[in-house]
Structure 1
Amino acid sequence: MFSINREYVDRKTYDERIKTYQSIEYLQNPSGCSYAICIQSVLDTIALVLYFKEHGASVMLVRADTPLQTVMRLAEKAGCRIVIYDEIDQFHLIAEGEVSLSREAPSLLQFSSGTTGEPKLIERTWQSIDLEISSYNEAIQLDKAEVPIVLSSVTHSYGLLCGVLAAFQRGAEPIIVTAANPKLTLSVIRQLPAHIVYGVPAQLRMLDEMTGKRTLFHRLMTSGMPIPPGVFDELRQRTAFMMQQYGCSEAGCISISSQMDSHLDLGFALNHYQVTAGTDIEHPGEIVVRQSETIIHTADLGYMTTAGGLRYVSRMDDVINVSGLKVFPLEVEQIILQMPGVAESVVFRGIHPVMGEQVLCHVVADSQLTPDMIREWCIQQLPTYQVPAHISCVNNIPKSPTGKISRTQLEKEVTFR
């Protein structure tokens, strides 16, 4: 692993760190217990995950910048008994009477992002995660000499399972960039010509801009949210392999595109899943994932290509019904982002007390562009029912720590007068 102090760490270092846990009282005999981890050290976070996984304990990971009160509340809701907070030697016990959940098997515990409602607890057994990692490595076909450079947080499945644990399984040593420092990241990438960078669209775009659009990357992996078409077009020109993986909290990684042909290309399903969706772009359907008796409804709309690949269309909750006609926000955003001077765009639903559902839009754009100019662009490019009824030029579009935009939250903030 590569951390902010420029120190390489291999699996042996993790194993040595794990041995020290046996001398810490509350970490002894963890089998059957549930822990919540919210600490600053990425090294200890990963080592603790390995330790608890190997000793049959359940673990919930929380971002290191989360206040203790919030962590305690989440831990209690998840049925965790012990909270490790800030440093490895600082812990908090949750009263016995407040822990009511029992688990059939040791698991990785996560809360959904909550972008479409109240976050819910997701439990994935270590056994199911091992299956996912094996299927992931079979699908991605990376040599152990190709070094994962992980920009995404290891408190999320994308960074932890795909960036770190999958690398360990195939004998690679992942590098985790622990600081929001693009120059540091670029220096690492330039030293390692055979690399795969794990990031979200905003991180990858920042990297590209920092290079002055001169660096040629080996593999770039994006996930977490649809990559804007303009960003995809730029990055595809500067990487040998532009990749994307699709998943959800309940299933983990569902599919991988090893060489994207469009920004909505989700690739092919991992071999332990059967995936169904719509028949084509005009007839999308919910992406449904099946494994044996388990059926997971993703609440995403997509369709299957004739070759069996998966394409993304929209979140089901994000579809806007304008007088009986469906508007998919990504389609409208794609057109707006093609307008010179527009940097970002988010399209979401507004509910007018008389007119019903309407298309609304926030845009980050150059100062000379006005809402009327952007709307005129839309009128020239889109059917009338897809043209936003109201456009606001804003300085920024709020995002979650993982780079996601909550359209639901934007809807709540709209007031019609």
Structure 2
Amino acid sequence: MFFVNDQYYTVVDVEKQHARFEEMEILQNVHQKRIAVCLPDAFEWLSLCLYMQKKGGSVVPINPATPKEAALRFANATSSHVLLFESLESPIELSSKENEKEGVLVQMSSGTTGEPKCIERSWDSIEEELESYVANWPMSNDTTSIVACPVTHSYGLISGVLSCLKRGAEPIVITNMNPKYVIKKVVKHPTHILYGAPALIHTVVQLLPKGQRLHAVMTSGTVIPASWLSSLHQVADRVLQQYGCSEAGCVALHPNVMSPEDMGYALSHVNISAGKDKNHLAEIVIRTSLQDIYTKDLGYLKEDGTLCYVSRMDDTINVAGLNVYPQEVENVLMAEPRIEEAVVYKKSDAYAGERVCVQFVSNETIDEMELREWCKNRLSPYQVPVEFVQVKEIAKLPNGKVSRKLLGGVPV
């Protein structure tokens, strides 16, 4: 049915777990309960998720690295009745009130702002997404999904694991995120698609043995830098990208990405509107059968229907009335051979309204004037960063994303 690292679990193994759940007192009348789950054993978590889906219960996945106090806050914030922390044997009861809502998968989303937001998705809406995702799947059905991202989040859980099971294949769930271990898996399964975040994929590319290739790679979560995408194309037969939001899951899929901004074509269960071209951007709006979702992302649609993402609306930098989009500046900086990572953000400016700032990572000290000159030769004057800060590591949120607001000193 699926692998977790090197261990293979069959349908019988999952059914045995489900029989175990049937006997657990805390999981009686599960359709009336909301269960928060923070388990280090990915097999137990995935089995429980499938069980809750089948029984119509509500489940709140929590990243297994979360400490107990934080997991309790998370569980209480989502109105959970029970927290399963570290073990199935020691449930923590939180509420006796019956859940009057239909069964849902609960996700906490912070986007790029850092503000937690509780998102509830019915199992029916997830099934609709899965049917659309599989119907638009551009690879052969026997392609092995290697899921090297958290299966407590929708990208790894729904797109990575559940969609693979839906099309009758057996996913490999990786909890050992050592890039060398990931490489070992892709080598062992030559007809693969590797699901991961851009940072992990980039590290895998750097460590890939000479002559070894990746069959296919799926990226999502944050926009992959242009220089990283170029390196990836040199070793991957195919690069795919998907775009979505916590409220609707994956809504667009690109089967062969050549530009970082190309998010893909709308899946059949949604309609997407955005700007008419690169010079006329607008907020990306996703329309489902249940709701209109205003994403606060700026983008546009190409003539062939490709959705292109440019920036978060909140991240756009207004320099004396002229808009600067961080990704464009980051791509220029990342093209400098010594720079490994760069994030552009804004700060208030008494004269220009806002100014462009950047944090960057490099293995060697780089003089600010060199970078300023590099940017002046490749960007318009108003796009050139005013402030360059070299750091050992760029701070990220628990979900692995960067908060440009926090880097700019804005409390969230």
Answering whether residue 27 of structure 2 is matched by residue 30 of structure 1, we say: no
* Matched letter for residue 166 of structure 1: S
Of 87, 105, 110, which aligns to 2:107? 110
- Encode CA deviations 1:352-388: one digit per residue, 9 max, x unaligned: 3454211111111242421121011111111111111
Of 343, 348, 359, which aligns to 1:351? 348
Answering whether residue 211 of structure 2 is matched by residue 210 of structure 1, we say: no
Answering whether residue 19 of structure 2 is matched by residue 19 of structure 1, we say: yes
Q: Matches of 1:295 and 1:213 in 2, distance apart?
A: 47
* Matched letter for residue 246 of structure 2: S
Answering whether residue 87 of structure 2 is matched by residue 87 of structure 1, we say: yes
Equivalent pairs: percent with the same residue?
Answer: 37
1:212 CA drift (Å): 3.8
Answering whether residue 164 of structure 2 is matched by residue 167 of structure 1, we say: yes
Q: Any gaps of 5 or more consecutive residues in structure 2?
A: none
- Residue 243 (structure 1) aligns with: 240
Moved more, 391-400 or 315-324: 391-400
Of 283, 290, 296, which aligns to 1:286? 283
- Residue 2 (structure 1) aligns with: 3
Answering whether residue 41 of structure 2 is matched by residue 41 of structure 1, we say: yes
Q: Matches of 2:38 and 2:365 in 1, distance apart?
A: 45
Moved more, 29-38 or 176-185: 176-185
Give yes or no for contact 1:247–1:255 (8 Å, CA) kept in 2. Answer: yes
Q: Matches of 1:187 and 1:56 in 2, distance apart?
A: 38
Q: Any gaps of 5 or more consecutive residues in structure 1?
A: none
Of 187, 192, 199, which aligns to 1:190? 187
- Encode CA deviations 1:155-202: one digit per residue, 9 max, x unaligned: 000000011111111111100111122222222211211111100101
Q: Matches of 2:99 and 2:28 in 1, distance apart?
A: 20
- Residue 331 (structure 1) aligns with: 328
* Matched letter for residue 32 of structure 2: G
2:215 match: secondary structure: strand
Moved more, 36-45 or 107-116: 107-116
Q: Matches of 1:293 and 1:45 in 2, distance apart?
A: 29
- Residue 129 (structure 1) aligns with: 126
Give yes or no for contact 2:298–2:309 (8 Å, CA) kept in 1. Answer: yes
- Residue 78 (structure 1) aligns with: 78
Give yes or no for contact 1:278–1:285 (8 Å, CA) kept in 2. Answer: yes
Answering whether residue 405 of structure 2 is matched by residue 404 of structure 1, we say: no
Answering whether residue 358 of structure 2 is matched by residue 361 of structure 1, we say: yes
Q: Matches of 1:400 and 1:37 in 2, distance apart?
A: 20
1:206 CA drift (Å): 1.3
CA distance 1:69–1:204, shift in 2 (3 Å): same
Give yes or no for contact 2:244–2:252 (8 Å, CA) kept in 1. Answer: yes
- Residue 272 (structure 1) aligns with: 269
Moved more, 111-120 or 83-92: 111-120
* Matched letter for residue 23 of structure 1: E
- Residue 178 (structure 2) aligns with: 181
1:348 match: secondary structure: strand
Q: Matches of 2:126 and 2:361 in 1, distance apart?
A: 39
Answering whether residue 260 of structure 2 is matched by residue 263 of structure 1, we say: yes
1:15 CA drift (Å): 2.1
Of 300, 309, 313, which aligns to 2:310? 313
Give yes or no for contact 1:10–1:173 (8 Å, CA) kept in 2. Answer: no
* Matched letter for residue 76 of structure 2: E
1:50 match: secondary structure: helix
* Matched letter for residue 3 of structure 1: V
Q: Matches of 2:202 and 2:88 in 1, distance apart?
A: 34
Give yes or no for contact 1:370–1:393 (8 Å, CA) kept in 2. Answer: no
Q: Matches of 1:164 and 1:65 in 2, distance apart?
A: 20
CA distance 1:213–1:329, shift in 2 (3 Å): farther
1:53 match: secondary structure: helix
1:64 match: secondary structure: coil
- Residue 68 (structure 2) aligns with: 68
1:401 CA drift (Å): 4.1
What is the aligned residue count? 410
Q: Matches of 2:365 and 2:66 in 1, distance apart?
A: 39
- Residue 303 (structure 1) aligns with: 300
Q: Matches of 1:367 and 1:392 in 2, distance apart?
A: 13
- Encode CA deviations 1:95-146: one digit per residue, 9 max, x unaligned: 44xx6x9553110001112531421110000000000001001111443321
Q: Matches of 1:206 and 1:366 in 2, distance apart?
A: 15
* Matched letter for residue 89 of structure 2: D
1:52 CA drift (Å): 0.7
* Matched letter for residue 80 of structure 2: C
Give yes or no for contact 2:270–2:287 (8 Å, CA) kept in 1. Answer: yes
Give yes or no for contact 2:114–2:397 (8 Å, CA) kept in 1. Answer: no
Moved more, 66-75 or 329-338: 66-75
* Matched letter for residue 240 of structure 2: M
1:266 CA drift (Å): 0.6
Q: Matches of 2:111 and 2:180 in 1, distance apart?
A: 32
Q: Matches of 2:190 and 2:339 in 1, distance apart?
A: 33
2:30 match: secondary structure: coil
Q: Matches of 1:144 and 1:180 in 2, distance apart?
A: 25
Of 138, 146, 149, which aligns to 1:149? 146
Query: What's the TM-score once normalised by structure 1's chain length?
Result: 0.95
* Matched letter for residue 411 of structure 1: G
